[in-house]
Structures are given as structure tokens and as C-alpha cells.
Chain A
Amino acid sequence: MDGRIELIDATKEYKHAGSPPVSALNCVNLSIRQGEFVGMVGLNASGKTTLARMLNGLILPSRGKVLVNGLDTADLAQKKEIRRLVGMVFQNPDNQIINPIVEEEVAFAAENLNLSPAEVRRRVDWALEVSGLADLRHHAPQMLSGGQKQRLAVAAVLVMQPSYLVLDEPTSMLDEDGRYELIKTLQDLNRQQRLSIIMISHRMEEVAPAERIIVLHQGTVYLDGPPAEVFRSPRFALAGLKPPPIARLTNSLLRQGHPIDDRIVTLEQMVEFLCR
């Protein structure tokens, strides 16, 4: 079985009565390997959310296909397995929490998988541990901070032990601390659990630590590559986007002829370089 998500000529059109169909995605061809940390950026209405929801079969392509580890998202018989493989975390944590207690919320997805109660408990303990919520397991979600709520949303998906985690603007409702907590958790999950992270964001500094950045523009993949290359590309500005401050600083120093590693796009990388 292939450990990757593949979009083959994936097109999505939304039809509204009395008006011509609106195309959200146009013939997208993409392959995301298991274990990759991918950042996905683009202006509003560039097709990011549609693409994210296609990855676990919540939205089916109008034309083309989406394969998750070789399973076609259009195959209804595989729907449950595809959703187990591709976990999805949405923008607003308050709108995805169903249960009144943290551990009950985490258990929800595992219960839906028809696992034994002992296995559900084991997975709940594990998901709470890796999300850093083990001490809050008996708390009410409403009483958690924004960052903790979003980590709860991540734990509630991790309990299915997915291979891919898709996050649709997960930090947009969070403050600075909450954002930091979540990004740190995601990086740890990617490194330690080899979990693929596909994160949509409008904040370039959040996706800068990713291995790869995909830029969507008017429903197409406009740029795809390592962060430094993408941020330096003239097409990046043409897509209406602005590189993060550290990437701009690196480019500026390079233009002035300073000997600096052109792959530096994050503050941590810059500090490491300067301390060398």
C-alpha cells in the first residue's frame, strides 16, 4: 500500500441554481508523502479549505480523484478507513467539541471505530499524553484556554491513530501563547510519531518550519517546494502573499552580498546561524 495522498486532476465545482458553476479547484495534481510536514497557503477563496476537505473525503471531486494510501475517497465502502487515516482539525475548536469532559471528547472517535473499551482507554490515555492534556482529562472543555481547546481537537483526532493530520487554519482563533503551544505539539507529533501534518494558515511564520509549502492560487497549485525556495520565488508575491519577516531578512542580506545560508526562514534557524 502506498503511504501517500494523491490528487489526480482533482477538480471541484460548486453549482448554484440559476448561475454558472463556480470552480474552487482546477485540475490539481499533488502527492503528499506519509511523514511530511506541509504548509498550505493562499489568499481567501484560493481553494485551500476545499482541498483540505477533499483529503479525507468530506468533499468529493467533481472530476479527477483523490487517493489516500491507494484508497479512492469516492469509494463509499472505504469512507470510514479514509477518515481514520486522515484526521481533520477545523478552525474553531468550540464548534467541534461534542462532549462535556475532555476524556469523553477524546474517546468519541475511538468509540465510533468500534474498538474494545480497553483499547479505547489505551488510545485516549496516549492521545491525551502526546497532546499535553493528561492533567486536564477530567476538565470541562469550556473551561480550557483557546490553545488547550485546539490541542483537545487534535487529541480527539489522534485517538484514531491517523497517518495524516489536516489542520484548516487551526491557529486563527488563538492568542500568541496558544499558537505557540499548538505549533510545538504539531512539530513534536511530526518528529516523534512520524505523523504527516498538512497545515493551512494565513500566517507565513507558522508554515515556515514545514518541509514543504504549497501555494494555492485561483484553485490551482501555484507553487510547491521547500519554504526558502517558495518564499524567494517572484510568483509568491504575484499570488498576493508576503514572506515571513525572517525570510525577508535573509533575502535582504543575500541581496546585499552577505554570506548567509539562503535556507533560513525561521527565527530558530537565524539564531542558530548567528551563534555558529
Chain B
Amino acid sequence: MREMITGQYIMGDSIIHCLDPRTKLIGCLVVIVVAVWPRQTITILLFNLAFIIIVIYFAEVGVGRVLRGLRSLKLIFLLTFICQVFLTRGDPLWSWGSIVITRQGIDLGINTFLRLLILFLSASLLTMTTSTLKISAGLESLLSPLKYLRFPVQQFAMIINIALRFIPTITEEAEHIVRAQKSRGAQFDSGSLSIRLRTVMALLIPLLAASLQRATDLAWAMESRCYTSDGQIYSRVYKLHFAQRDLIAMGVISIVLLLAIL
């Protein structure tokens, strides 16, 4: 048994787990659209964040477990915040030589930080409460009108399914390679920039090779189990079911969207 990776599906029977995947996909999309909407205010973003935290509570997946994933992204969050704070022009609040911190910079820094946080939390929540098969079934259903435009909906849904399925596997593979490289003296956290770049390459190349090998093996295994990429419709054991709770959830999502727009 190994530790769960953030974003990995956690089995459960919470209200959020039981929702139709289409409802969750639409909900996730609404939250993301509201978060990335241009000139979004911090108040709306905080409101959006509060909404997600309430949903995480009802999903019974543990706020701590969701937030644990932020540790690996802390550098991205920090760099984005620092760049926005120091590179945005406006009314100066504090200066030291050519370094100026502006009110607009701080606003934008917080704004961007909140947006990234919302994107991360909403995507994690979706994948933690919905199995990849249900996500792909939901996507297939939502995108089904595109079939008339000859868009390969089933294949697209399968690609998403496999991509989501392999995130934890590739993460685990990367951890193994890092451990193997560290045991041979590789330093990922220290040394000059060129040394660090070389070390990262020593991680990326075997990871890419292993991923390609996995992809080939998976293709053989899928073909062996009669999967064909000709877009043929096959029966699904999992049937989508839009229930009353989904209607209520859609109502809540609509209210969130309206409040954000107004």
C-alpha cells in the first residue's frame, strides 16, 4: 500500500461522489471560468474559493489531503506572486532603489494566487470524487453533439481517461527515478543552475523513455482486449443518470455563476 497522490480518485459515497459526472464537469468548468474571467475582483475569487471549500467538506475527502498537493506547487505560487508584486506598475507603496512595490502589484499578486488556487482545488476535487471512467463517460456525453461535426468524441474521452489514469503512475515513476538518481549522488536542490538543469535532464529522459514504453504496452493490452479506434459505439456498464440531486447541484452552480457575473 502506498500514499495517495493528490488528485487521485478516492472512493466514497458522499453527496459529491454520487453526483452525475456531467454535473461535476459543468460545475468545475463554471468555477474555472469565473476564476479566469478577466478583471475578476478579489471578493468574487474569495467567494468562489469559499464555495469550493464547502464542496470539499461535503465531498468528505479531507481538506488536508487536498491541500497537501499544494506543497509541490508552492514554488509556482510563490514565483507568480513575486513576479506580479514586483513587476506591476502603479501607485508605489514601498520602494528601495529600483525595486518598487505597488498597490496594484499586491492586488494582482493576490488575484493571481487565488486564481491558481481555485484552478488547482477545483480540478483536484473533480478527479478525487470522480473516477476516470466516469469523467470520460461524462465528457463523451457532454461532447456528443460534436459527433455531427465528425469530432472523434469517444477517442477524445478515452485519451482523457488514460491521461488521468496515468498521472499517479508517472508521478510515482518520477519519484523512483529521483530516488535512484539521488542515491547516485544527484543533487536536485543544490548546485549551480547548469548542474541543476543537467540533473533535471537526468530525470526527464528516463521518465520520457519509461512513459513511451508504458504507452506501447498499454496500446498492446488495449488492442488485446478488443479496443478499436474506429469510433465504434460499445455498451458501457456504467450508465449516466441525471437525478434530482443533480438538478439541485446545477441550481447551486447557476447561483454561483450569477453572483459572480453580477
What number of residue pairs across chains A and B have CB atoms under 8 A from each other? 103
Q: Tell me if B168 counts as interface (CB < 8 A to partner A).
A: yes
| CB closest residue in chain B, given A141 | B165
Q: How far, in Å, is A175 (CB) from chain B's closest CB?
A: 14
Bound Cα distance from A255 to B224, whole angstroms:
46
C-beta contact mask, A107-125 vs B, less than 8 Å → 1, else 0? 1111111111100110010
Q: How far is the CA of A96 from the CA of B233 in the complex (A)?
A: 22
* A92-B217, A100-B165, A114-B234 given; A108·B225 CB < 8 A: yes
Q: Please tell me if B201 contacts chain A, counting CB pairs below 8 Å.
A: no
- Say if the beta carbon of A53 comes within 8 Å of chain B: yes
Q: How far is the CA of A97 from the CA of B169 in the complex (A)?
A: 11
Contact between chains at A111 and B235 (CB < 8 Å): yes
Interface residues on B, range: 20 to 34
In chain A, positions 138-182 with a C-beta closer than 8 Å to chain B are: 138-140, 142-143, 156-157, 160
A121 to B169, CA, bound (A): 28
Is the beta-carbon distance between B225 and A80 smaller than 8 angstroms? no
How many chain A residues touch B (CB < 8 A): the figure is 42
Surface stretch bound by A, among B24-32, B57-65, B92-100, B236-244: B236-244
Tell me which residues from 66 to 115 in chain A have a Cβ below 8 Å from any Cβ of chain B: 80, 83-84, 87-88, 90, 92, 94-101, 103-104, 107-115
Q: Within the assembled complex, what's the spacing in Å between the Cα atoms of A156 and B224?
A: 11
B189-247 residues at the A interface, CB under 8 angstroms: 213-214, 217-218, 220-228, 232-239
Our pick among A56, A95, A124 for the contact of B224 (Cβ within 8 Å) is A56
A58 CB within 8 Å of chain B: yes
Q: Which residue of B lies closest to A56 (CB)?
A: B224
B106 → A minimal CB distance (Å)? 41
